A and B are shown apart, each in its own frame.
Chain A
């Protein structure tokens, strides 16, 4: 027993390995967080402070001035409202429409159902960049260029959303339950509203999160649809002040930070749901 070989994992090497891992993670976290901290700090500094050396790693006192400067270069609150309006309308619409449509795929048998469902899934594979031109031409044809309607309404019919909700229904609601409700005398509308909707709340939350974040952060469709500055959404307004001559960087960074703030705060409280939602397709494979 005396000559037992020491294994490679002595306490010392183990601690070292653990230390290395933690350092690696800490480094990743710093890199991840830094731009957010930096943008918040810059929002409180004057232009000359931002561009001074060494850089100002502290909270400055120019927040109020930056705020007024921000309102000067863009109608910040109007633009924020526009973003909010489009995101909320699109989210509510998509959640309701997708769950209705998913119920159709779930509860009814009809000729061609599988073909339609497969086509719908296939449509999810088409890259969004390819859809840019047809989307634009349709919007132009309908005469709704430069309207918010063109941004939230098309978002309502969402193949991903329908697919997500239907898959959830399959796992969460047994056919027996639908039959039981039918035997109890409920109509389909009633079954949908009273039995199905309460039972699929989690997936509706997931879909809502995905939709809201996507609409809030959307840039490309507003870029090609909207032309009047008073209809701009946050992303568009921010980019429009990027190339101002002699940019008031403090104000621009303040605006950038404020535009991210709603989602950051929501993430603080609902990180689990948001992460589950945005990886929903991935994790369930």
Chain B
């Protein structure tokens, strides 16, 4: 081993693929992260507020299944679903165009065929995001359900007496009360999403980050540099930069949401 100063860092920062991977990572982190929570919070609220415990458990357990299955297996399935020529997704889109009433919504689909979900640089990232959202929303639903269950019923009663309607109950009572849970779930999402690897790796068959590197995340690139091209030095530099990125994102999150999030109401 030889000491090379900051050479590895300079190499990494000079590398257009590296910058591309950072951009992809941030893009995926946001687009695959935000919808998880936008979907999970209302779902959890509906589950807790309107369903009996037994039914609630069955539904949340069902929605949780993707979380316990291997990302590799799941990505393999989606790899087949996204298949351009005869994948089930394209077939369903074509099929929907023929359904009465809602058919006009999908009238564009037959002309667009075959949609190259995984081999078009503008569609690859959304395709990856969909898998990530699909896999992790169930987990967030569970966290938020636990959060909503900590809200005492008397609080809802008091708010009803004060004249809140259902939406106001959700917005003014339930949502502020689960702030610590939102904070926690967001922290996990940020840290997790900035390290995405398996979904893009499998969906691009591990081939240099997919078409025009549009699926190349930083962890993915780290793997390529370290284990395909066998340049551990550069890989180390990348992993430190990635660490800084994660630390920075977490710090920003803590700065803006931390105070309210950590205080909690319990």
Contacts and interface: CB of A to CB of B under 8 A. Distances in A.
Given A50-B86, A55-B88, A133-B232, A239 B202 contact: yes
A283 B39 CA distance: 19
Contacts of B77: 35-36, 38-39, 253, 256
Given A39-B77, A51-B85, A235 B70 contact: yes
A32 B138 contact: yes
Contacts of B226: 132-133, 136, 224
Nearest to A258: B73
Contact of B50 (A21, A224, A274, A279): A21
Contacts of A253: 76-77, 80
Interface string A153-196: 00000000000000000000000000000000000000000000
Among B72, B79, B236, B246: residue with most chain A CB under 10 A: B72
B243 A127 contact: yes
Contacts of A122: none
A252 B80 CA distance: 10
Contacts of B139: 278-279
Contacts, number: 173
Main secondary structure of the interface of B (DSSP, over half): helix
B134 A32 contact: yes
Contacts of B243: 126-127, 130
B73 A260 contact: yes
Contacts of A52: 86
Given A235-B70, A239-B202, A29 B142 contact: no
A8 B164 CA distance: 12
A130 B226 CA distance: 12
Contacts of A24: 43, 46
Interface in B74-101: 74, 76-81, 83, 85-86, 88, 91, 95
Contacts of B91: 53-55
A242 B95 contact: no
B66 A267 contact: no
B57 interface: yes
A96 B172 CA distance: 46
Given A133-B232, A282-B146, A217 B69 contact: yes
Contacts of B74: 35
B19 to A, nearest CB: 18
A35 B246 contact: no
B175 interface: no
A34 to B, nearest CB: 9
Nearest 6 Cβ contacts at the A-B interface: A51-B86, A217-B70, A235-B72, A283-B146, A271-B61, A129-B195
Given A28-B39, A32-B66, 20 more contacts: A24-B46, A25-B47, A32-B65, A33-B65, A35-B74, A35-B78, A50-B86, A55-B88, A127-B194, A128-B195, A129-B219, A217-B70, A220-B223, A223-B223, A242-B205, A260-B69, A267-B61, A271-B61, A275-B61, A282-B142
20 contacts: A29-B59, A29-B62, A32-B138, A35-B81, A36-B77, A127-B194, A129-B195, A130-B239, A133-B239, A136-B226, A137-B232, A235-B73, A239-B72, A239-B202, A243-B206, A243-B207, A260-B73, A263-B70, A282-B146, A285-B181
